Amino acid sequence: MIKLTIDGLPVEVEEGATLLEAATKLDIHIPTLCYHPDQNVKANCRICLVEMEGNKLLVPSCSYPAQNGMSIRTHSPKVRRARRNILELILARHAQDCLHCDRSGTCELQSVSEEMHFVKIPRYPYVARSAESDHSSPSVARDSAKCITCGRCEYVCSEVQTVHALSKTGRGFEMQFRPVYNRPLGESICVNCGQCVQACPTGALTVRDETQVVWHAFADPNKTVIAQVAPAVRITLAEALGEPPGSISTGRMITAMKRVGFHKVFDTDFTADLTILEEGTELISRISNGGALPMITSCCPAWIKFCETFYPELLPHLSTCKSPQQMFGALLKTYYAEKTGKLPQDILSVSVMPCTAKKYEETRPELGRNGIRDIDAVVSVQELARMIRSAGIRFDTLPDTPFDAPFGLGTGAGEIFGSTGGVMEAALRTVYELVTGKPLQNIDIQAVRGFEGIKEAAVDMNGTHVKVAVANGLSNARKIMELVKAGKTDYHFIEIMACPGGCIGGGGNPIKENAMMRSRLDAVYRLDKELPIRKSHENLAVKALYEEYLGEPNGHRSHALLHTTYMNRSGLLG
């Protein structure tokens, strides 16, 4: 253990701890920008400088190791002068449009400026780093003028997700992080996961906003605006509106959406249950009839694009099922339109998602029919929170409202789609009973839960030993796909979610750190336990849909509406 003094207070930390960690142990706050608790230390910005008493040296607290006998000052006059000078230099190169920036109020640079009471006019002339603005991606907008070159986006893209869509270019004043080969983001190998948005401390990377499409539709008397809401949204929306992480707000969320202007609010849990019946039936068919194994889930569009780009030779292993979002859109523009006597083009189909890749998914040309897209707009949790605020709604005082019929009934199995391992657990709950004809003794399958990189489980189904795996995030997806490619796995079924933690960690959620994820995960399984039905095949509304319209899982009509194809995108790598 190391003993030192910070601001006159003694503290003891483990060998290898940094001065920032030691100060945190004393509840002493040191401002940071390039530092992120879930990433490696970079020490780029130097805003976290502290002074070593004795030699009067200034050192970056995020990277400098604590040493025995040290005495540190975190807010001496010398430290304050240095930090203010660094902040002036950063602001002299940073766009001055805080009032209409998407990150206003959640921007870390803004918070540091406020904390340091920085109100004077900078001494340095304002010269923006770059005027480059890139809106080519349907998911993420990039504004280089707001980049502070902290490197957090490049780290999460390369080290956490192993996509390597962003890289450092230029040197000194000209340095910036941008797509490789200087391509626009929309033409790069970016898989649209949005983890760079979560990592960015400023407005340099933001979620591409689609709310104006929805506001205009509200004002059109000929449009019926219908929303579907993903499982994770009811857990992260309240957090985006200022409540603690893990706050569940299902009923209040629906009330707020109705007051904002949505005519109907449906539950994507419904098509999550539908996905399980289609996907589970497909898995049983592959195991019984010699199909491509392991079969891999297809719910996550960022993962699909990752596979299409980096592992196109393994595309036959993907389930042909559309994601729950796209299944819902297909039903809305066919079954629901017919049932209510509406033309598909008169329905504005809106998805409220925790995911930025869903914005890309809605644009895929194969996901629609007769020139009409199944999904017209995707609104992230961040965007919905802004809509609720701009409508003057006090979210914390709202009463509860139930989801609308006929797509308002979801199960616990559908709800756990929001977390890593949830799709696998939901599938096993159903597939076991479809194969054996007997109920699963314990439907809480702990082996596939949690944030571990790769989790495994095995279930005996009437003598067939079904082995499954769950990969959490794209770096683990890459590991497991290399094993599949080399023929070194004996899995029957693999679940892959692009975002670490699953949808509760999606790029469209409120900005998070890993420490907040446990509260979100606990809320997912709390909701699962509270719902009266916890197995997808027991959803009465789904059963009625098959009887009335779809026929049977993987049948002719359900396959035409609920299944899809994929494409080779490896050309983007060149």
- 468 DSSP 8-state letter: E
Q: Tokens standing for 132?
A: 């480059």
User: Annotated catalytic residue: which of 358, 359, 455, 535?
Assistant: 358
User: Annotated catalytic residue: which of 154, 210, 282, 308?
Assistant: 282
Best CA proximity match to 419, nearest among 510, 326, 281, 519: 519
User: Annotated catalytic residue: which of 107, 299, 307, 321?
Assistant: 299
Q: Residue 264: CA atoms inside 13 Å, Cβ hemisphere, count? A: 19
Q: Tokens standing for 46?
A: 């130097």
DSSP for 85-152, please give it.
Answer: HHHHHHHTTS---GGG-TTTTT-HHHHHHHHTT--SPPSSPP--S---EE--SSSEEEEGGG-----H
Active site residue 361: yes
* Cα separation, 303 vs 410, whole angstroms: 24
* Cα separation, 125 vs 19, whole angstroms: 33
Active site residue 113: no
Q: For strands 140-143 and 166-169, give the pairing.
A: unpaired
User: Annotated catalytic residue: which of 503, 512, 536, 558?
Assistant: 503
Q: Are 19 and 64 in contact (CB under 8 A)?
A: yes
User: Annotated catalytic residue: which of 319, 349, 351, 536?
Assistant: 319
User: Annotated catalytic residue: which of 53, 366, 456, 548?
Assistant: 366
AA identity, residue 563: H
Active site residue 319: yes
Q: Are 204 and 146 in contact (CB under 8 A)?
A: yes
User: Annotated catalytic residue: which of 108, 279, 415, 495?
Assistant: 279
Maximum Cα interatomic distance, the chain, rounded to a whole number of Å: 81
Active site residue 34: no
Best CA proximity match to 323, nearest among 237, 207, 210, 414: 414
* Cα separation, 30 vs 26, whole angstroms: 11
User: Annotated catalytic residue: which of 361, 383, 425, 495?
Assistant: 361
* Cα separation, 165 vs 118, whole angstroms: 35
Output the CA–CA distances (angstroms, integers) from residue 338 to 83, 351, 378, 549, in the order listed: 64, 20, 23, 11
Strand ranges, E, within 222-376: 224-229, 264-267, 295-296, 347-353, 368-369, 372-373
Active site residue 358: yes
The answer for residues whose C-beta is within 8 angstroms of residue 437's C-beta and 6 or more apart is none
Task: Provide the annotated active-site residues.
Answer: 279, 282, 299, 319, 358, 361, 366, 503
